[in-house]
Structure 1
């Protein structure tokens, strides 16, 4: 049997690569029928770049993205308020990269199929649910009938890693409409913001929480600005734009405008939808920066996407037995700290590290994974809220906020540079 990962996003694919690297079989199911380079730009912070580099993807990542040199804060006239170096220029042993999210996902997908096999990722397959009883949860004392790790009929069985018992998952083949049952030794819910795994684990897990901010995002072919590797945050009251290059002459931009009061948002509310230039341009029409044409940048995008800025309250626990969560399914967060994808990558690496260290006791490994990551990611959720709320208008305020953010999210330069690696030698020879 195999560890099943629901979701072929950045976190899910990194989890598959990380599990394979320590000799644990993994397979991925993805609801989308085709994985295409959709989306816009993201930042990969040094703690995520370290993990992908240790997976052997450093050269491909460097070729894919733009190495960030600095973050610059300005007002709407272009006056520089504060700037700080990023990545290796800041003292990290690893760079910070700005990349196209969809292109990064395709890079990870190619690596999974090369290393795990062409059929390691099944697209067009939606996870409907799962079942596990006391015995299947891997309790060392056995189920209610005294079975030590066996299935509900008392069969001791066991997978190739010595884990006795497993869980049943229900899958839907979207092309045929057929449902199927499958067994897995564990289930990782990396299925994003509207996670089916999370919904079953935490049916009363609380609503999405809207910050009151609407975001419009796009990618535009445009001339580089400042160093050519600079990211900028330009703010005027409740109106803000973030812009940075993502390679091949493209500038990624994000407009953030307060349009309402914070509050709960229904889970079935539109997450990503086509945005209209006519809705966002009026907020920036009069902005005049001599080194960045903001109205022209917005008008030049082939496509504009609109999102609400949301998160959720951190969960008191993630998983149960042989099932757990990863990435946005576990800890959706504001994009304020550019940390969402980076934290999902770290989740994936810690998951593999703890499972490999737990030998044949998968439930214990999953518990250790959660213990290592739940409070750490909850701190990032809270730090992103604080950074969004505090803002900062003076150089001293901005310096304090960014320094506090690094310390509270565990991304201080010395902490990362001196932390032991999450790599482990393979305990079992991988099949591929």
Structure 2
């Protein structure tokens, strides 16, 4: 979707990045009566990417934004997370979403379609001028009463300056804003694992509304789940699959490691030569994928603080983590909601952003570290050949306690803030 380029260069809050977290932040701020402007470096926002899981905690937030029906039309509600071995034998199953007693489902959905759903909502509610594409932010200056952002309009090459009362960096794992705020941080940390991802349409998905997680004795992993409600209505299923293969020694991400390179099926297949699921032909599943992506599994050490003064971070820009807990998109959505809440209830912007970080920095740091532990223990346990249901239950229970999923989500106070009244 191409968005209108307006002449406006000011807003209460400027959000750098038009992904899931940034668009949710714009919607949440608007609902609170706070003017938001989204700057996206891509010249066109298109429905790219593969599958994503939204935990019940995030689905609740989208419900409170009035987007549950739209999400339900796109995605598939998950009823179970199923751990299996490389023969497809079930080791442990855990109920998820409403099946686990929450008032909200867990949804699997195409990441690009979710982003477009949020973008459509932003354009309808805030207007087409609320999102400016093709704007590459390059620097900032802090002033007594705001922030000046220096950017380049990629369509014309001209310099543009934006001013705001607050700036939020929601520009992803390669965040420009994070680099400006923390210039000495160094490269991303590679886990030693290479990931291949794809989406394939098939006649059916035998595990049904389950997320399947498999690991073999070489610590090679596979995650698979269906992601399209529309496909199910046509009597088909759209399957998102992720392959996770140890290919090197963990360490700083080097220049020789590919990032989002086109994946080759011949590089992938040897690692799954002895896998034999009775519910899926993996070779056929991989081959049916129109596009295969290859990239390293990376994260960063948690920061003690994300921003300063009137500038902060959100989502992967703030707390990139392994996908082990399927929590990246969920935590970005919760970040957005907490951010809007504090900006609505605290008129002092610097105090509001400090309160936001006080809420979210410790919580997300714990999740980044828990994702590392789940990946480590899960590989050693699930693929050991001696894994028991009790081992895996203890692992998932510990993770749920860390993320807050084990708390009483149904009874938690709403993050919808009172609307800011302006004179």
Fold shared by both chains (TM-score > 0.5): yes
Aligned partners of 2:257 and 2:296 also within 8 Å: no
Deviation at 1:276, TM superposition (A): 0.5
Q: Secondary structure at the match of 1:115?
A: helix
Gap regions ≥5 residues in structure 2: 1-10, 232-236, 382-386
1:377 maps to 364
1:367 maps to 354
87, 101, 116: which one aligns with 1:77: 87
220, 232, 236: which one aligns with 1:239: 220
1:317 maps to 305
Aligned partners of 1:206 and 1:312 also within 8 Å: no
**Cα distance between partner residues in 1 of 2:257 and 2:289:** 25
Query: In 2 relative to 1, CA 223–286 (structure 1 residues): closer, same or farther, beyond 3 Å?
Result: farther
The 5-angstrom pairing of residues 301-340 of structure 1 reads 301-340=289-328
Q: TM-score, normalised by structure 2?
A: 0.92
Query: In 2 relative to 1, CA 258–301 (structure 1 residues): closer, same or farther, beyond 3 Å?
Result: same
Deviation at 1:228, TM superposition (A): 1.9
Aligned partners of 1:24 and 1:428 also within 8 Å: no
Deviation at 1:428, TM superposition (A): 2.6
Q: CA RMSD in A?
A: 1.4
Q: Secondary structure at the match of 1:2?
A: strand
26, 51, 57: which one aligns with 1:47: 57
Q: Is 1:401 aligned to 2:395, yes or no?
A: yes
Aligned partners of 2:200 and 2:288 also within 8 Å: yes
2:373 maps to 386
**Cα distance between partner residues in 2 of 1:3 and 1:84:** 41
**Cα distance between partner residues in 2 of 1:429 and 1:289:** 60
Aligned partners of 1:190 and 1:329 also within 8 Å: yes
1:184 maps to 164
264, 280, 283: which one aligns with 1:276: 264
Q: Is 1:426 aligned to 2:419, yes or no?
A: yes
268, 285, 290: which one aligns with 2:273: 285
**Cα distance between partner residues in 2 of 1:268 and 1:50:** 41
Deviation at 1:285, TM superposition (A): 2.7
Q: Is 1:222 aligned to 2:202, yes or no?
A: yes
**Cα distance between partner residues in 1 of 2:301 and 2:41:** 26
1:34 maps to 44
How many residues of Structure 1 are paired with residues of Structure 2 in the alignment?
Answer: 398
2:3 maps to none
**Cα distance between partner residues in 1 of 2:205 and 2:254:** 39
Q: Secondary structure at the match of 1:378?
A: helix
Bigger shift: residues 421-430 or 272-281: 421-430
**Cα distance between partner residues in 1 of 2:89 and 2:166:** 53
Deviation at 1:269, TM superposition (A): 5.5
1:141 maps to none
Deviation at 1:223, TM superposition (A): 2.8
50, 71, 79: which one aligns with 1:61: 71
Name segments (4+ residues, structure 1) moved above 6 Å.
none
Aligned partners of 2:32 and 2:344 also within 8 Å: yes
Aligned partners of 2:207 and 2:279 also within 8 Å: no
The 5-angstrom pairing of residues 56-135 of structure 1 reads 56-133=66-143
Q: Secondary structure at the match of 1:119?
A: helix
Deviation at 1:243, TM superposition (A): 0.3
Deviation at 1:425, TM superposition (A): 2.3
**Cα distance between partner residues in 1 of 2:66 and 2:127:** 17
Q: Secondary structure at the match of 1:36?
A: coil
**Cα distance between partner residues in 2 of 1:109 and 1:191:** 15
Deviation at 1:322, TM superposition (A): 0.5
**Cα distance between partner residues in 1 of 2:422 and 2:242:** 44
Aligned partners of 2:319 and 2:365 also within 8 Å: yes
Aligned partners of 2:374 and 2:395 also within 8 Å: yes
Aligned partners of 2:55 and 2:327 also within 8 Å: yes
Q: Secondary structure at the match of 2:128?
A: coil
255, 258, 262: which one aligns with 2:243: 255
Deviation at 1:417, TM superposition (A): 1.7
3, 14, 23: which one aligns with 1:4: 14
Aligned partners of 1:5 and 1:187 also within 8 Å: yes
1:147 maps to none
Deviation at 1:267, TM superposition (A): 7.9
Q: Which whole-Å deviations, capped at 9, do the CAs of 1:274-298 have from their partners, x for residues lacking one?
A: 1000100111133211111112111
